[in-house]
Structure 1
Amino acid sequence: MAETNADAIKSDIAGYDGVLVAFSGGVDSSVVAAIAHDTLGRDAVACTARSETLPEAELADAREIAQEIGIRHEIVEFSELDSEAFVQNDEQRCYHCRTMRLGAMYDHAKSLDIPVVCDGTNASDPGEGHRPGLRAVDELDVYSPLLEHGVSKEEVREIARQYDLSVSEKPSMACLSSRIPTGLDVTEQRLTRIEKAESLLRTWGFKQFRVRDHDGVARIEVGESELSDALDPEFARAACDHIGDLGFDHVTLDLQGYQTGSVSPD
């Protein structure tokens, strides 16, 4: 029987005494965590970095999926807002963020005497436009098994289904700072109101969405299949009332719908 990509990753991981998985609870890192746990058991650790840019709902999801996998789950805390380079929000913001986040992972791995840090970068990621965070992955010598073995995003979801992971169809999520246009400072106030606004959209039943913060103007993006719901006058009134109350001067709906990186460089 031919060896699958998942089998090849298991063979690699089996050669390590232990691994720490940079774990967001998204489908990519969940697949890596599931394979690592399947291979190493207690010697595999999923680690989530908690900061102002991580929505509490995503942290809760990470806890739940780690429990579902059965992998040991630990949380480290840090603040990207301690970095002036990150706060300035230039074209390298994701590089600064990923460097700090993975640095926290390496520090924690060292404290646990774990030799390897791995992440969920997949083979589709390098081709998805401006991705400065990938430079941090390369510079820090993070082991990216999905990328190493050419596993595309669709293949990742297939492996997730094989492991019966509840996140197999979960939409991609980026950190809250990705909602702030390049060149506009990342502040705790902006991150907080974005998180609260997106929490409302989640409560109202939307699945794929972003709230972009254009210095006081909330620009709502929703997936194409949900756009008709967002055009409902009742939703428009609720969005203006409740999202406007969070500190936004104006609330708008983007008729082009959800687009990744719509406030970042191409």
Structure 2
Amino acid sequence: MVWQEKLDALRAFFRETERALIAYSGGIDSTLVATVAHDVLGDRAIAITAVSPSLLPEELEEAIDQARAIGIVHEQVETHEMDNPNYASNPANRCYFCKSELHDTLKPIALERGYPYVIDGVNADDLQDYRPGIQAAKERGARSPLAELGITKLEVREISKGLGLSWWDKPAQPCLSSRFPYGELITTEKLQRVGRCEVYLRKLGWRSLRVRSQGDTARIELPPEQIKDFVVQVDLEILVATFQRYGFLYVTLDLEGYRSGKLNQVLDLNAPHHRQDLGTNPAMIKSI
């Protein structure tokens, strides 16, 4: 059972670490890291969630509920990436400034409390996409056990399901800033607008989705196989009126469908500064 072997390796990582402070977003990756850390280390593991306008209140509540179910000590800290014009101007390396703020906030807390470094939920698949935030974390000495052990997103779900975690199939939910094309200014109001629209669609029963913001236009992305059902089942007139109430003028549906990292297609992903490297042993990531 491959996922059991990966779980054993993850447990061994935490036995060697002895103490763990985890950058915990409530997503499936960091939640698995927090779960295994707590199982191995008990109260010597702590999860900290960064709270900012790019995190929906509903997602924070889910993170709190999951941490409570795990039993891990859970704290919240505020981060202020929106105060950094290098972040708000939304350049192609925006994520670098976001993760810099996160780790510049968490690292002093870790060192003050005797934790050797911050541990995050970056998985092996993340190394194959353009993720400048990974470099920011690496520069600040963070560790990424899922990536280091070659644990992919699919394996994160398999391990989570094997452990009986009810959120094992939770859709990926990256920072709300990822909904904006590079170069479009990000504001708190725009983040809230996108967030409200996504919450609205989820309440209608659509779990895996993105609402991309392009100026005054909202572009809804759904898995391709769900597009026909969406058009038939949703009252489009009410949907448009709701999106307009939240601040959009126009509402469109992306006929290509949802694809993770879609906005990165405008980048030259072969450029050297777009490649990731956490020093992972290539032999351990052959399953990617």
Q: TM-score, normalised by structure 1?
A: 0.94
Q: Which amino acid aligns with 2:108?
A: D
> Which is worse superposed, 109-118 or 131-140?
109-118
Instruction: Please tell me whether the aligned partners of residues 218 and 250 of structure 1 are also in contact (alpha carbons under 8 angstroms).
Output: yes
In structure 1, what is the equivalent of residue 126 of structure 2? 125
Residue pairs, 1:131-170, within 5 angstroms: 131-170=131-170
1:1-54 alpha-carbon deviations (Å, 9 max, x no partner):
998222222222123342111111111111111110011100100111000101
Q: Does the residue aligned with 1:259 lie in a helix, a strand or coil?
A: coil
Unaligned runs of 5+ in 1: none
Instruction: Please tell me whether the aligned partners of residues 111 and 117 of structure 2 are also in contact (alpha carbons under 8 angstroms).
Output: no
Instruction: Please tell me whether the aligned partners of residues 76 and 108 of structure 1 are also in contact (alpha carbons under 8 angstroms).
Output: no
Instruction: Please tell me whether the aligned partners of residues 35 and 70 of structure 2 are also in contact (alpha carbons under 8 angstroms).
Output: yes
* Alpha-carbon distance, 1:234 to partner: 4.5
> Which is worse superposed, 100-109 or 214-223?
100-109
* Alpha-carbon distance, 1:252 to partner: 1.0
Distance 1:110 1:44 in 2: 14
Distance 2:102 2:198 in 1: 23
> Which is worse superposed, 32-41 or 115-124?
115-124
Q: Which amino acid aligns with 1:162?
A: G
Distance 1:116 1:14 in 2: 15
Distance 1:125 1:241 in 2: 36
Q: Which amino acid aligns with 1:25?
A: G
1:179 equivalenced with 2:179 (yes/no): yes
Distance 1:224 1:22 in 2: 32
Distance 1:257 1:207 in 2: 14
Identity of aligned residues (%): 38
In structure 2, what is the equivalent of residue 240 of structure 1? 240
Q: Does the residue aligned with 2:218 lie in a helix, a strand or coil?
A: strand
* Alpha-carbon distance, 1:171 to partner: 1.4
1:182-240 alpha-carbon deviations (Å, 9 max, x no partner):
00111111111111111111111111111111111111111223212321274311211
Instruction: Please tell me whether the aligned partners of residues 47 and 75 of structure 1 are also in contact (alpha carbons under 8 angstroms).
Output: yes
In structure 1, what is the equivalent of residue 286 of structure 2? none
In structure 1, what is the equivalent of residue 11 of structure 2? 10
Distance 1:151 1:50 in 2: 27
Residue pairs, 1:160-239, within 5 angstroms: 160-232=160-232, 234-239=234-239
Q: TM-score, normalised by structure 2?
A: 0.87
Distance 1:66 1:216 in 2: 37
Q: Between Structure 1 and Structure 2, which shows a larger proportion of helix residues?
A: 2
> Which is worse superposed, 115-124 or 1-10?
1-10
Distance 1:196 1:170 in 2: 19
* Alpha-carbon distance, 1:115 to partner: 2.4
Residue pairs, 1:61-100, within 5 angstroms: 61-100=62-101
Distance 2:187 2:71 in 1: 36
Q: Which amino acid aligns with 2:17?
A: Y
Q: Which amino acid aligns with 1:196?
A: R
